């Protein structure tokens, strides 16, 4: 990276979440438990969807990849965070820091677009049920998934390229628990205004287009639900997208609060708490949201367990 030749400091130091050893111990145990549940929950979701034929639909195709993304960006952040909590070595090399930033932005941006694809899927399923199998073909689902990854790749590449042009000649202490753009920008001795604008434009475009797609899709969904005469019919139809709406609200709420603002408005305490939520907590919430609130997943789990028990 060109940034390696543009700095006078050897590496970065991640200050983490707290200086208290007692709190660090509590957080390390808590984060380890969350990490294990995240991996097991999302792997379990992927396996259930793969093993149960009745879940081989576009909705669960996207959901399996959502679980895959949650595993990926949890692995990008949590292991290093756990290492910093239990050891005194908080150093991270420039290459490791920018690699962590690159993959985190990639997976996070991909999840943004994937959530909008899931919203479009719900719109077609509820508003055009007769044409659903034709419209949401395997070809379209693969195209939407590929597009999600490509947009995430583009966002992360631009983000890291812009950051790699900066000079770091003052401090190498990152007041955060992972390599995020805002605290690193604040360390540069260059004028970062243009870079902040470029990053915000691309990140903002991804978020805005995804939110517009989700909002418009659910406006039509709501309109269709309101036209249903029976209360039970409305509840049944709404339940098919309630889990997705909850997941979208949690993910976008914390992401917008943390990411779409200039580094000068970076507030250490609030941003770190929000970052903990969307980097460590949200990946464990998604399998819980989509399993506990979804009868099809529960039934599929029962069928898989029965089949597994019967094959012995």
Domain boundaries, the chain: 2-310
d(CA 138, CA 144): 10
**CA-to-CA distance for 206 and 202, rounded, in angstroms?**
6
Q: Flag residues of the chain having pLDDT under 70.
A: 1-10, 170, 257-271, 292-293, 308-312
Q: What is the DSSP string of 157-192?
A: HHHHHHHHT--B-S--EESSSS--HHHHHTT-SS--
Q: Which residues pair with 173 in a beta bridge?
A: 13
Per CATH, the number for 2-310 is 1.20.1070.10
pLDDT single digits (tens) 99-127: 999 999 999 999 999 999 999 999 999 99
Cα(165)–Cα(152) distance, integer angstroms: 21
CA distance 289 to 283: 10
pLDDT value at residue 241: 81
Q: Both tokens of residue 129?
A: 């049920």
- pLDDT tens by residue, 168-200: 876 888 988 999 888 888 888 888 889 989 988
Contacts (Cβ under 8 Å, ≥6 apart) of 286 = 42, 66, 67, 70, 247
User: Residue 312 has what pLDDT?
Assistant: 55
Q: Provide the pLDDT for residue 282.
A: 86
What is the side-by-side order of every strand in the sheet holding 12-14?
91-92, 12-14, 173-174
Alpha helices, DSSP H only, in 52-180? 58-86, 94-127, 132-135, 138-164
Cα separation, 160 vs 199, in Å, equals 9
**Residue 16 backbone class (left: φ over 0; alpha: ψ -120 to 50; beta: rest):** left
Distance of CA 289 to the CA centre of its chain: 14
């Amino acid at each position: 990276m060109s940034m390696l030749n543009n700095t006078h400091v050897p590496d970065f130091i991640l200050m983490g979440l707290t200086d208290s050893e007692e709190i660090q111990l509590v957080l390390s145990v808590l984060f380890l438990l969350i990490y294990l549940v995240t991996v097991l929950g999302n792997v379990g979701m992927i396996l259930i969807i793969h093993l149960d034929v009745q879940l081989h639909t576009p909705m669960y195709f996207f959901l399996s990849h959502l679980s895959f993304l949650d595993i990926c960006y949890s692995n990008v952040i949590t292991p290093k965070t756990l290492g910093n909590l239990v050891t005194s070595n908080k150093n991270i090399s420039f290459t490791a820091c920018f690699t962590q930033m690159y993959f985190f932005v990639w997976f996070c941006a991909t999840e943004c677009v994937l959530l909008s694809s899931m919203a479009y899927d719900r719109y077609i399923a509820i508003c055009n049920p007769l044409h659903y199998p034709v419209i949401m073909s395997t070809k379209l689902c693969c195209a939407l998934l590929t597009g999600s990854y490509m947009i995430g790749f583009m966002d992360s590449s631009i983000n890291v390229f812009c950051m790699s042009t900066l000079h770091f000649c003052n401090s190498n202490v990152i007041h955060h628990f992972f390599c995020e753009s805002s605290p690193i920008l604040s360390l540069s001795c260059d004028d970062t205004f243009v870079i902040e604008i470029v990053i915000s434009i691309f990140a903002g475009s991804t978020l805005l287009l995804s939110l517009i797609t989700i909002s418009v899709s659910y406006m039509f969904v709501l309109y269709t639900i309101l036209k249903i005469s029976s209360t039970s019919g409305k509840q049944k139809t709404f339940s098919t997208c309630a889990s997705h709406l909850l997941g979208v609200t949690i993910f976008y709420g914390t992401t917008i609060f943390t990411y779409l603002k200039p580094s000068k408005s970076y507030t250490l305490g609030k941003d770190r708490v929000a970052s903990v939520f969307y980097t460590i907590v949200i990946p464990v919430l998604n399998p819980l949201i989509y399993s506990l609130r979804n009868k099809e997943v529960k039934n599929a789990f029962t069928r898989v367990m029965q089949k597994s028990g019967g094959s012995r």
